[in-house]
Structure 1
Amino acid sequence: MFITLSRRAAWPPRRPRLQRTILALALAAAFLAADLHAQESLTLERALSLAQDRSRQLSAQDSAASAAREMAVAAGQLPDPTLKAGINNLPVNGEDRFSLTRDFMTMRSIGVMQEFTRADKREARSARYEREADSALAARELALANLQRDTASAWLERYYRERVRELLMNQRDEARLQIDAADAAYRGGRGAQADAFAARSAVAQIEDRLAEADRQTATATTQLARWIGQGADRPLGSLPNTDTVRLNQADLDAELAHHPQLTVMARQEDVARAEADIAQANKKADWSVELMYSQRGSSYSNMVSVNLSVPLQWDQRNRQDRELAAKLAVVEQRRAEREEATREHVAEARAMLQEWRSNRERLTRYDDALIPLATERTRAALAAYRGSTAPLAGVLDARRAEIDIRIERLRLALDTARLWAQLNYLVPVGHAATTVPAIRP
């Protein structure tokens, strides 16, 4: 009996300890969930990192550069020597036919021939592949810039499509409340039945636009998954600062000198110039030396032969000179294309900068005037309807106009963000660049 009472008395002090343990575990789970939620958010920087890690185009350009460097080493070496073996002056009739030793002219020969390519020619060929490696690295920078631009555009597309969807959902909830008000007014004899149908029609129209917004959001998610793979449907992080770009319009020519596409064209020009150097070196012929040892019958002496071969460039005017002129013409072609592309990119960049700044001014106008005015109009129409001094149609028209203005503002913001992505990633992130702020009235 005493033992039973003591056991029952030992239980109550343990309950607070158990409760504290449960509370600690719950708090730890809550913090862990919050931390996981923060880690799961897909920021623009994280999307760019995932896209870069996933890209195969970048690794392909790295492999192309590595292949060109390996070829540069191989091109700088002498050609492989040639081993020669044969039988000379073998009789085919008479008493000594097919005999390798009885005729004094029959010889079994073995020799080695080596072509001695000029050192300047080998250096020119090696330099050509080095320039090709530089071109591959420039193409990698171009691929990286395109990757960052397309990934940023896809991320911004999904961000603003979701904002449109949230706007329509909020407006739909408010419009549903208007249905209840119209039904109550009709039952109370203070409103017409047409108002109730008009309110339902407004909700149906918003739901139709919401379905379109859902489709656009799903499409934007699919486009984002094209670049980052799995996880494209995770919640997005906060919007990055799109008020500045890494370009200075006052010194745009110098800024775009680092444009990857122009760099690729410059490296292609270098490759063409290296090929012209090879053609220039080819105007001097290479010599070949051959050493041969010939064995005859035991009654005769063995022999050693040394041969020297030199190509006769007897028509350089129509061969080597023509080839050199063709290579030099290609160099001029590459230079002219690069200069024309530079002018085109400068003009496009200036046009995009002007449009981006103009859109920023328009966004300010939407925030300062158009949206506040549309909101006040809706409030005024709703107050008049509640005071029975205006019909419900005025409220629906004002609400529809407000939705259109807010959606138009989001569309303009999306267009501005796309321009920002194109301007900000003309040069891959990581290169030194200045920033230019948006003009605000």
Structure 2
Amino acid sequence: MLIAFIRLVALALAAALPVRAAEPLSFDQALRIAEDRSRQLPAQDAAASAAREMAIAAGQRPDPTLKAGVNNLPIDGPDRFSVTRDFMTMRSIGVMQDLTRSGKLKARSARFEREAEVAEAGRDLALANLQRDTAAAWLDRYYQERMRDVLVSQRDEARLQIEAADSAYRGGRGSQADAFAARAAVALIEDRMAQSERQIATARTQLSRWIGPPAGDPLAPPPALDAVSLRPDDLETRLEHHPQIAVLHRREELAQAEAEVARTNKQSDVSVEVMYSQRGRAYSNMISVNLAIPLQWDQKNRQDRELAAKLAMVEQARAEREEASRMHVADALAMLQEWQSNRERLAHYDSALVPLSTERTRAALAAYRGGGPLGAVLEARRMEIDTRMDRLRLEMDTARLWAQINYLVPAGPAAPGSR
């Protein structure tokens, strides 16, 4: 009984405690969650670590080779299969070592070091893409919800118009067509609300791709979107640090390292072998020392061709980097110009278009109360909704441009211009 009573009290207390609402998900928190959750970043770290390990291994000389055997063993006659009777039979053991030139070892090691740097630059590129895509997904959801809120507000006001139209019809001051027109206007707004809810669900799904379950939490206010991290006058200098350019630059250095490996391969290595041979007791034991040097008798068609191919790949990497650099400068400048133009259009919406549409609705309502047509009210309200929605779409497009510009280069969770 006592245990049951304690459980009952505990359940009552738990039910009485207020349910803690989910904390609003801020823009910076979404970026941090996406970075912590990403598997692409650890993959790039692992690639860099693997290349560093290979760099150490490539800088070492090959392992020595142990050789053992029996030479000149007779297989017939009175001494057949004897290892001591015939003076030519020897039991041998030896060691062979390839003496790779130190320049070759350094070149091979440097080649993997450059590969590690490519992976590290690839991590920066993956981080910039992650931050940009997460920022865009967060902003898309925020503005889709803002659009839904505008529609909800306009629907609530339009419902009041239904009551007014019904009252006017019952009082003989309005027509039944006006009452149906008011209901049709509300139905159209509700249809747009359904479409908006679908777009919100899509935006939430896109955000969950990067941050998982927190994508369903309510959103905090957005960061300040009135400043970007790039300016047209220093665009080329800033974009030298663009992750994609950095990756191409590292690949160019990797191609140069591979060309250096091919250049060192034009010099032959030497192999040394030392062997001790034991004969029968009646004969002397022997030591052999051998040197082996590959004869590069056709360098012009082998080693020289390989080096020429590697040098051509260096030129290819350099040309691709220069072309990509020009493309990124042009794209970034176009985004900056579009962002600035959108900012000016938003200012025009705020100073003229939105206030005018609001005043038109108020004027139509005042005229309707004085006996004017309901159709003018419905048309004015529709135009006001369209104007406010167009303004939000423009602001959403501007926010996307802000994210693309500010995350051309990876940043910390606190992005430029964020709160």
Deviation at 1:69, TM superposition (A): 0.8
Match of 2:296 among 308, 313, 325: 313
Q: In the TM superposition, what are the counterparts of 1:393-432 in structure 2 within 5 Å?
A: 393-430=375-412
Given that residues 31 and 413 in structure 2 are in contact (C-alpha distance below 8 angstroms), is that contact kept between their aligned partners in structure 1? Answer: no
Shift in alpha-carbon separation, 1:195–1:432, aligned structure 2, 3 A: closer
Deviation at 1:430, TM superposition (A): 4.3
Deviation at 1:97, TM superposition (A): 2.0
Q: Distance in 1 between matches of 2:413 and 2:132?
A: 15
Q: Distance in 1 between matches of 2:120 and 2:414?
A: 18
Q: Distance in 1 between matches of 2:122 and 2:339?
A: 28
Match of 1:98 among 64, 81, 84: 81
Per-residue CA deviation, residues 163-200 of structure 1 (Å, 9 max, x unaligned), is 01111111111111111111111111110000110011
Q: Distance in 2 between matches of 1:80 and 1:431?
A: 48
Per-residue CA deviation, residues 326-379 of structure 1 (Å, 9 max, x unaligned), is 111111111111001100000000001000100010011111100000000000
User: What does residue 439 of structure 1 align with?
Assistant: none
Q: In the TM superposition, what are the counterparts of 1:66-215 in structure 2 within 5 Å?
A: 66-215=49-198
User: What does residue 7 of structure 2 align with?
Assistant: none
Per-residue CA deviation, residues 23-44 of structure 1 (Å, 9 max, x unaligned), is xx9xxx78xx7xx65x711011
Moved more, 198-207 or 315-324: 315-324
Q: How well do the aligned residues superpose, as a CA RMSD in angstroms?
A: 1.8
Moved more, 296-305 or 236-245: 296-305
Given that residues 142 and 260 in structure 1 are in contact (C-alpha distance below 8 angstroms), is that contact kept between their aligned partners in structure 2? Answer: yes
Per-residue CA deviation, residues 13-56 of structure 1 (Å, 9 max, x unaligned), is xxxxxxxxxxxx9xxx78xx7xx65x711011000000000001
Given that residues 224 and 232 in structure 1 are in contact (C-alpha distance below 8 angstroms), is that contact kept between their aligned partners in structure 2? Answer: yes
Runs of 5+ consecutive residues of structure 2 not aligned to the other structure: 1-12
Q: Distance in 1 between matches of 2:68 and 2:150?
A: 87
Given that residues 255 and 433 in structure 1 are in contact (C-alpha distance below 8 angstroms), is that contact kept between their aligned partners in structure 2? Answer: no
User: What does residue 17 of structure 1 align with?
Assistant: none
Task: Tell me whether 1:273 sits opposite 2:256 in the alignment.
Answer: yes
Length-normalised TM-score, structure 2: 0.93
User: What does residue 335 of structure 2 align with?
Assistant: 352
SS in 1 for 2:300: coil
Q: Distance in 1 between matches of 2:159 and 2:282?
A: 119
Runs of 5+ consecutive residues of structure 1 not aligned to the other structure: 1-24, 436-441
Per-residue CA deviation, residues 271-293 of structure 1 (Å, 9 max, x unaligned), is 00011111111111110101111
Per-residue CA deviation, residues 77-106 of structure 1 (Å, 9 max, x unaligned), is 111111111221112222222222222211
Q: Distance in 2 between matches of 1:235 and 1:411?
A: 20
Task: Tell me whether 1:285 sits opposite 2:268 in the alignment.
Answer: yes
Shift in alpha-carbon separation, 1:287–1:127, aligned structure 2, 3 A: same
Shift in alpha-carbon separation, 1:52–1:431, aligned structure 2, 3 A: closer
User: What does residue 331 of structure 1 align with?
Assistant: 314
Q: Distance in 1 between matches of 2:110 and 2:412?
A: 28
Q: Distance in 2 between matches of 1:124 and 1:398?
A: 75
Deviation at 1:300, TM superposition (A): 2.0
SS in 2 for 1:90: coil
Q: Distance in 1 between matches of 2:140 and 2:76?
A: 90
Q: Distance in 2 between matches of 1:237 and 1:432?
A: 15
Shift in alpha-carbon separation, 1:433–1:407, aligned structure 2, 3 A: closer
User: What does residue 225 of structure 1 align with?
Assistant: 208
SS in 1 for 2:215: coil
Task: Tell me whether 1:262 sits opposite 2:212 in the alignment.
Answer: no
Deviation at 1:114, TM superposition (A): 0.4
Shift in alpha-carbon separation, 1:431–1:310, aligned structure 2, 3 A: farther
Given that residues 89 and 106 in structure 1 are in contact (C-alpha distance below 8 angstroms), is that contact kept between their aligned partners in structure 2? Answer: yes
Given that residues 247 and 424 in structure 1 are in contact (C-alpha distance below 8 angstroms), is that contact kept between their aligned partners in structure 2? Answer: yes
Q: Distance in 1 between matches of 2:92 and 2:116?
A: 44
Per-residue CA deviation, residues 269-322 of structure 1 (Å, 9 max, x unaligned), is 000001111111111111010111112222222211111011111121111111
Given that residues 247 and 433 in structure 1 are in contact (C-alpha distance below 8 angstroms), is that contact kept between their aligned partners in structure 2? Answer: no
Given that residues 32 and 413 in structure 2 are in contact (C-alpha distance below 8 angstroms), is that contact kept between their aligned partners in structure 1? Answer: no
Given that residues 247 and 434 in structure 1 are in contact (C-alpha distance below 8 angstroms), is that contact kept between their aligned partners in structure 2? Answer: no
User: What does residue 57 of structure 1 align with?
Assistant: 40
User: What does residue 324 of structure 2 align with?
Assistant: 341
Q: Distance in 2 between matches of 1:202 and 1:99?
A: 112
Q: Distance in 2 between matches of 1:147 and 1:312?
A: 53
Q: Distance in 1 between matches of 2:413 and 2:160?
A: 53
**Aligned structure 1 segments of 4 or more residues deviating by more than 6 angstroms:** 431-435
Deviation at 1:433, TM superposition (A): 11
The number of residue pairs the alignment matches comes to 403
Deviation at 1:251, TM superposition (A): 1.4
Code of the aligned partner of 2:129: N
Deviation at 1:257, TM superposition (A): 0.3
Length-normalised TM-score, structure 1: 0.89
Task: Tell me whether 1:234 sits opposite 2:217 in the alignment.
Answer: yes
Given that residues 246 and 433 in structure 1 are in contact (C-alpha distance below 8 angstroms), is that contact kept between their aligned partners in structure 2? Answer: no
